[in-house]
Structure 1
Amino acid sequence: MLIRIVSAPCVSAYLNLDHHFVELGEVAAHLRDRAGHEVRVVDGVLPEVTWDTVVEEALHATGLVVLHVTLDNTLETARTIRLLRQLSPGTRIALYGRGAYHLRRLFQRTDADWIVLEQDWEPALAEIAAQVAAGAEPGPVPGTLTRTAGTWTRGPAGVRLAGDWELPALDLLPVAGYARLPADESYPGREPERELAVGLSRGCDSYCGYCPIPDVMGRHEYFRTGLDTLAGYLRAARESHGYTAVSLFGANFTAHRDYVHDFCARVGTPRTGVTWKCVTSHAELDPPLLGEMAAAGCTRVAVGVESLLPDGRNRFSGRVGAERLADLGAWCAAEGILLICFVMVGLPGQTRHEVAVTLDTVRAAGAVPRPMTYVDYRRLAAAEDFADVFWANRKTVSEPFGRGILSMRDTALAVHSWERWLDTVGPADGRPSDERPSAAPRRPAL
């Protein structure tokens, strides 16, 4: 059976291609290579994918269409469902993705047949495909909501793949189109490179109020197995498509030190010819581990700083403080690793001074801030209209899904151009007018 996986065309506010490699590429590979279906991917993140493209697919759709739902394309996904019902009324429609999870209440007002809620998404979609291929009426599927005779029914708990999930199917993704898209972020000294992403872990053991990962992916982080297979895949991706770097998609790469040792030995650049980047927590990082990672080809590490108080403490328990951040910046610099720091803007009660302190401290540590707008994802479930979701994107503004006291203009400017925003903060906000730290990080505390 031919399965069309469609990510509806939209104008992205925040373009992160990691999601497309992982959420589209890994799902497509599973449905083809494990479930045995023919798969076509239509990714509306590309400007050449228009509504005419969607209409053409809808006119020829039979069997099953799987719609990938992001927080950018929720309104467009609702339109796609309507198009499919009008142009191909016998086609079954399944929804999955972060947008499907957060906005299930809104999508239950549409004519979709299934809403996949739990990762791993792949077993649920494979079971849905099996039902459609057999000509069966929609029935409850683990990890989903199923619409039968106009009533939605929650299925049993979803099935886990236990770290054994597919790698992105590069032959099914529009990788040539991805290469033409501008990078969402640029970093000092960044060399030209062609980067793909693979999912290295799913879920997260921490439960932070500003992060959707534990809700969407599960409250336990589990890691990809088959590292030799991953190494071979990266070598092949370099030879076939010219990829020189890989982003390891996951919440906390260094959560288990033995796993890091194993990864560095089996998937490091000496074996693949591909450098790599990761996201992790500051707590597990130290000079010996960073040295090992650098020797294995790690060029960039990102950690969550979120927000620092004027006295250097972090607003959140367990997050990095100013002193530790200075050490971490020095350790990374000594190994030639670029340190990226995620900063939340618009948190409840967060002042202009607090944001400025955070950005100044990150810069003084020799790191690069990456500010993002705070969104209360749990409030997002109360959205009354698909169009409202535009305001819940980390590159737009926070209202009505954030509770911060910063103005919308402050929030947007700090996220889009944090250096320009810092120039607007001075003594009236409690920040000395000459406070523009640019010094090298202090010596590491070994």
Structure 2
Amino acid sequence: MLKVLLIDPPRLNRITTNIPEIVDDPDGIGYYPPLGLLYIAGMAETVPGCEVKVIDATVDKLNYAQIEELMRRESPDVVGIQAMTHTLIDALETAKTAKRVNKNIHVCLGGPHISIYPEETLNFPEVDSVVMGEGEYIFADLLRAIIHGKDLSSVKGIMFKNNGKVISTGSRDLIENLDELPFPARHLTPINKYWSILSRFSPVTTIITSRGCPYKCIFCERPHLGKKFRFRSADNVVNELQAAVESGIKGFSFYDDTFTLNRNRVHDICDDVIKRKLNISWSIRARVDSVDEAMLKKLKSAGCSSIHFGVESGNPDILRVLKKDIGLDQIKSAFYWSRKLGIKTLGYFMLGNPTETRDQILETIAFAKKLNPDYIHVSLTTPFPGTQLYRMGFEKGVLKSDYWKEFACKPDKKFVPKLWEESFSEEELQKLLTHAYKSFYSQPRVILRQLLAVRSIKGLRRKFNMGIRLLFK
């Protein structure tokens, strides 16, 4: 029996992000399961001869001594580690821990960071192989090769080391039929530990019903999922919802970039949720130009309690620069309809965009307040690797070096992502970011709305602590 241990590493050495710490702190906003890793686990369980376990070191708040103890107890043959750019240091430290336990453990890393910097990651001595792209079938094939003693060069979609030499087996096509994938292996995680400040119910989980995005926003950092929009059938989606409900889950956060892109499918999913009488609360992410009042009514009737809209800017010129392809009237309508129907909204905004002036930033902050969403999430524009914005940074001289690649080769906890400092210094942008949060969340109507939404003493304590930290630090 091949013992496989999949690990979502702790966030003990996470690099800083360009949003206030409290907004990015799980203890303040909630914990979600590592969905990508659970998809890998679900597929790995279908491989004959595999015993699969998952460690979510974040929700279990494990340190490396505890992870090492777990590894010694489980004695895995293969350790798979999820790696994102901001958790790369912890992913590599987890890999080192595995090699310290047993140098013969095959350590494989996968995730968005790996898809962009596969060879740079493989150069670390503690890493034996990396998965490039969507990992479900690739990792399963890797396990089969290990079980049967096959040459790893037979596994399409990986890089591995053979006698110190890096070997790439080439890229693998994107998964066309998402209905073929097993559901995420949620039973391998502590389901009752996951919650969200945005959900009426707990425990909560994440779900994704489509992959890829046809839009061309210059800041998008998910190129590994491709531009082609691929979606699961409504029946397959609701089957997963029902299975999760039967395991005790009540709240769902849909992670699709644009859940509402296929309107007929949205209505079909809602109709089936209603037909099966699933008493759930769920949130989605959507573009403002992909919803109308009729769709929102249907979503509400099926239990959709909140929608996250990507607004980014309240200035038409900046929206054009970002290639958002949306207008202010569309934004206003989406928020108005949602508020009218009792659906909570969260608006995403970005400050410090290319060509943006101080007046335009203040215009965006004022626009956010006028929209009157329940929550806002504001970030400072950051050029991420693989994005059009990153390439623009070199063309305009805003970026002087390929600093993300430098970080990928020599990760350092002191590393700070560079902002788009075309017109402002980092200090100026940080002050504007703080102003945006404080001016929105200090509004009496926002404070009152949050208080009226509290349903428990624990919920009150969480919101109170978050508010104090947000407004006074």
TM-score calculated relative to the size of structure 1: 0.81
The whole-number CA distance in structure 1 between the counterparts of 2:54 and 2:203 is: 21
* 2:238 pairs with one of 206, 231, 243: 231
Q: Confirm or deny that 1:22 pairs with 2:35.
A: yes
Match of 2:229 in 1: 221
SS in 2 for 1:139: helix
**Alpha-carbon spacing, 1:62–1:312, altered in 2? closer, same or farther (3 Å):** closer
Classify the secondary structure of the residue corresponding to 2:254: strand
Match of 1:2 in 2: 3
Residue 162 of structure 2 corresponds to residue 148 of structure 1 = yes
The within-5 A match list for 1:294-309 is: 294-309=300-315
Structure 1 portions without partners, runs of 5+: 393-398, 425-434, 439-446
1:136 to partner: Cα distance: 3.6
Superposition deviation, residue 390 in structure 1: 4.9
Question: Which one of 148, 152, 165 corresponds to residue 134 of structure 1?
Answer: 148
3-state DSSP of counterpart to 1:341:
strand
Where in structure 2 are the equivalents of 1:382-397 lying within 5 Å? 382-383=406-407, 384-387=409-412, 390-392=415-417
Q: 1:279 Cα deviation (Å)? A: 1.0
Q: Measured at CA, do residues 2 and 199 of structure 1 come closer, stay the same or move farther in structure 2, by a change above 3 Å?
A: same
**Which residue is 2:178 aligned to?**
163
Q: 2:272 aligns with which of 253, 266, 276?
A: 266
Q: Tell whether the 8 Å contact from 1:312 to 1:323 is kept in structure 2 after alignment.
A: no
Q: Per-residue displacement from partner, 1:45-92 (whole Å, max 9, x unpaired)? A: 135311112222443534211011123321122222223333311111
Counterpart selection for 1:173 from 189, 197, 210: 189
Matched, 1:207 2:216: yes
Following superposition, the deviation at residue 261 of structure 1 comes to 1.8
Shift of the 317–138 alpha-carbon distance from structure 1 to 2, 3 Å rule, reads: closer
Asked if the contact 2:42/2:183 (under 8 Å) is kept, the reply is: yes
What residue ranges of structure 2 are gaps of 5+ in the alignment?
17-23, 386-401, 447-473
Pairing 1:381–2:430 present: no
Aligned equivalent of 2:122: 108
Structure 2 match to 1:427: none
Using the TM superposition, give the Cα deviation of residue 222 of structure 1 relative to its aligned residue in structure 2, in angstroms: 0.8
Q: How many residues align?
A: 410
* Distance apart, 1:233 and its partner CA: 3.6
Q: Give the SS at the match of 1:381.
A: helix
Q: Which has the higher helix share?
A: 2
Percent pairwise identity:
18
Task: Give a deviation string over 1:188-209, Cα, whole Å, max 9, x none.
Answer: xx64543211111112112322
How far apart, CA to CA, are the structure 2 residues paired with 1:304 and 1:197? 19
Instruction: From the superposition, tell whether residues 15 and 148 of structure 1 become closer, same or farther in structure 2 (CA, over 3 Å).
Output: farther
Match of 1:68 among 71, 82, 91: 82
The higher-RCO structure (CA 8 Å, 6+ apart) is 2
TM-score with structure 2 setting the length: 0.77
Match 2:247 to one of 234, 240, 259: 240
Q: CA deviation at 1:172?
A: 0.3
- Tell me the C-alpha RMSD between the 2 structures: 3.1
CA distance in 2, matches of 1:363, 1:211: 25
Measured in 1, the distance between the counterparts of 2:360 and 2:31 equals 30
Q: Which of 251, 257, 262 matches 1:251?
A: 257
Report the secondary structure of 2:192's partner residue.
helix
The 3-state SS of whatever aligns with 2:171 is: coil
State the distance in 1 between where 2:380 and 2:215 align: 20
